[in-house]
Structure 1
Amino acid sequence: MHPSLRLCASAAPRQPLIHFAGKRQWKSKAPRPHPLATPDLKSAFTDSLRKTQASVSESSVVDKGSSSAGPAQSQAKGENAQVFGNFWEAPERYWKHDLEEWEVDLVATGGASRFA
């Protein structure tokens, strides 16, 4: 049996039909509100951005500090939030429990069942 010309022509490497323009890079500019946003939305955007940046910088300070400094800082701010590294360190009410059969059925039907 002789190979056909079509098979020989397809031996060339495949060229994808889609081409991306330029390299994939993240923007280095800080986020800003839309130019046509109302003034109250612009101020809300800047407030939320400021809070986000403060929480990110605060969490990095807590992560870099010693483990004993973390709870002291959170109590000084009046927060009761604790971070647990493992689930068994948290109170038992937050542990994962086995699901009942009716809960499995509810999830399997997407919530559209006779229980809803």
Structure 2
Amino acid sequence: MHPTLRVLGARVHQPLIKFPGKRSWPSTPATPHAHPAAPPEFQKRFSDVAAASPSGAGKGETGSVISEFWEAPERFWRPRVRELEESEIDAVLSGGASLR
């Protein structure tokens, strides 16, 4: 069989993946909503919570922004580093051979 005839008779390869055009990000945030496949009781509960929350909540509020780490709740602070004992330093430097 001649390869040139096979190429000419075949269709042009069309990739299965389709890329959208240039990405454009929305300028305003989308309104929160429940997943369409969520059970009805979750959708109802979500709509109740969304209706009860103020409309400006979570949209660029600067009152909750902290500028120093000690203003944050203590659970977000870095854990205190304790001082290492000399025996622990020797164990690390020797690769664990000085444990005994």
TM-score normalised by length of structure 2: 0.35
Say which structure is richer in helix: 1
- Identify which of structures 1 and 2 has the higher relative contact order when contacts are C-alpha pairs closer than 8 Å and 6+ apart: 2
TM (norm. structure 1) is: 0.32
Structure 1 or 2, whichever has the larger Rg, is 2
